[in-house]
Amino acid sequence: MSQTIKVLLAEDQSMVREALAALLGLEDDIEVVAQVARGDEVLAAAREHAVDVALLDIEMPGATGIEAAALLHTELPAVKLVILTTFGRPGYLRSAMESGADAFLVKDAPAAKLAEAVRKVLAGERVIDPTLAAAALADGANPLTDREREVLRAAEGGSTNAELAAALHLSQGTVRNYLSTAIQKLAVRNRAEAARLAREKGWL
């Protein structure tokens, strides 16, 4: 009785994207009507093909799946949003939910969960892994300020304080202060550990 569900697939790795499309193509009530490889192509494609559900990977060039979700949520609020990601990072789940996502799946869940999630969000349900939800709640919100995040992100690659200062238009001392407070907030002992932990939590 119902129409087939029109799905948009956003994922940058062609092989994975096309494989997921093949997988969803096996379901007779689901049709993948659009595929994009970049976050900044999501909105136009969703609009053009009048999709019911957008399936968004997080790590993408152009814009992240989370950013794309936020945009879709305000521009096309009827579109249901499923975030699909390699990394089950608590911070990702949190920001996905804040940007209006209806489902959050990790790629190491069984493939059957995917079609299931598509149907559930369309029925108005939300789909999230309870373990991950618990982790996200236990961690609390991202404790870093905007600047601390920026500096930490820039410091990940191993740049020196002088380079960071130049790149961010700050004094060297200020860079050190930000890194120092970030290190304390995260309860670690140096910038590398701070970066690792923040990355792992999905806070960068």
The residues of the shown chain that bind a copy of itself, judged by CB under 8 A, are: 12-20, 22-23, 25-26, 84, 86, 105, 107-111, 113-114, 156-160, 188-196
The piece of 45-53, 59-67, 122-130, 168-176 that touches DNA (CB under 7 A) is 168-176
Distance CA 157, CA 187 (A): 21
119 binds, among DNA, a copy of itself, none (CB under 5 to 8 A by kind): none
Residues in contact with 72: Cβ distance below 8 Å, sequence separation at least 6, in sequence order:
42, 43, 46, 54, 79, 81, 100
13/174 with CB nearer DNA: 174
Minimum CB distance to DNA, residue 173 (Å): 2
- Candidates 148, 152, 198, 202: give the one binding DNA (CB under 7 A): 148
132/188 with CB nearer DNA: 188
180 binds, among DNA, a copy of itself, none (CB under 5 to 8 A by kind): DNA
- The string of DSSP codes covering 18-81 is HHHHHHHHTSTTEEEEEEESSGGGHHHHHHHTT-SEEEEESS-SSS-HHHHHHHHHHH-TTSEE
Distance CA 79, CA 106 (A): 20
Cβ atoms of 46 and 79 closer than 8 Å: yes
Q: Is 190 in the site for DNA (CB under 7 A)?
A: yes
Q: Is 126 in the site for DNA (CB under 7 A)?
A: no
Local structure of 107: helix, strand or coil: coil
Minimum CB distance to DNA, residue 162 (Å): 7
Distance CA 153, CA 168 (A): 11
- Candidates 79, 179, 186, 198: give the one binding DNA (CB under 7 A): 179
Minimum CB distance to DNA, residue 195 (Å): 10
Q: Is 13 in the site for DNA (CB under 7 A)?
A: no
16 binds, among a copy of itself, DNA, none (CB under 5 to 8 A by kind): a copy of itself
Q: Pairing state of beta strands 30-36 and 127-128?
A: unpaired
Neighbours of 37 (CB within 10 A): 16
- Candidates 86, 126, 145, 166: give the one binding DNA (CB under 7 A): 145
